[in-house]
Structure 1
Amino acid sequence: MNIVLWIAASVLALAFLASGATKLLRPREKVITSGYRWAEDFSRGQVKLIGVAEVLGATGLIVPPALGVLDVLSPVAAAGLALLMAGAVVVHLRRGEPTYATGPVVLAVLTAALAVLRFGPYAF
């Protein structure tokens, strides 16, 4: 089970790292034109803040258990990312984009499951 958790955490971390880096490194207008149309409803600072949250969350999924230091940060990061994705679902539904809410729903469920499993007997 430990290997499965590492694989799941790694895949989720890569997804959030890529998404967060896109929001951090590109101007807001480029973020919007690259498929993140929801960013039209947010300021440049808010988009960057979401990017920072995703990058920090991705880092929190992998680094603490890999180093064996403050392992409690990993499930906290997973729970934070699940909450962030819950907010993304709300934004997409308010914008009338239910099909775009599917990805954040899947990410929210996976990160929430990871948070729960990291607190349990399978914690690494």
Structure 2
Amino acid sequence: MNIAYWLVAGPLALFYVYAGTLKVIRSRDELRPMMAWVDRVPLPALRALGTVEVLGAAGLVLPPLTGIALPLAPAAAGGFVLLQAGAIAVHLTGDDRRIALNVGLTTTAAATVWLASGL
């Protein structure tokens, strides 16, 4: 079960570290080609979202690595499920209807919740 967790949670954490870091350090103009919705949210909210993504990724990786606060891993994965539910809503209420990535991330995060429960 531990190997399965890392096979699922590792790439998920890498994705969120990358996406979150972009939201924190890049300007709206630099993000717009990748994220059509950036003009619909205030810049501080965008930066906060990026910070939450990076911290959530740390929550997926650090507790199982250190053996400290293990319940944080499924909580972080559950937070990503909720985050992606909100992302799907944002995409569907705007002009951008591409949600395949969001559905995949939701499914992966849900599997991570299940796998993290067995740590």
TM-score exceeds 0.5: yes
> What stretches of structure 2 of length at least 5 have no aligned partner?
none
Q: Distance in 2 between matches of 1:57 and 1:7?
A: 17
Q: 1:37–1:96: structure 2 CA closer, same or farther, 3 Å change rule?
A: closer
Tell me: higher relative CO, structure 1 or 2? Use CA pairs within 8 A at least 6 residues apart: 2
Query: Residue 22 of structure 2 aligns with which residue?
Result: 22
Moved more, 1-10 or 12-21: 1-10
List aligned pairs for 1:41-80, cutoff 5 A: 41-80=40-79
Say which SS state the counterpart of residue 75 (structure 2) adopts: helix
User: TM-score w.r.t. structure 1 length?
Assistant: 0.90
Q: Which amino acid aligns with 2:112?
A: L
Question: Which portions of structure 1, spanning 4 or more consecutive aligned residues, are displaced by more than 2 angstroms?
Answer: none
TM-score, normalising length: structure 2: 0.94
Count of residue pairs brought into register by the alignment: 119
What is the match of residue 114 of structure 1? Answer: 112
Q: Which residue in the other structure is 1:12 paired with?
A: 12
Report the alpha carbon displacement of residue 67 of structure 1 after superposing the two structures with TM. 0.4
Do the aligned residues in 2 keep the contact of 1:28 with 1:47 (CA within 8 Å)?
no
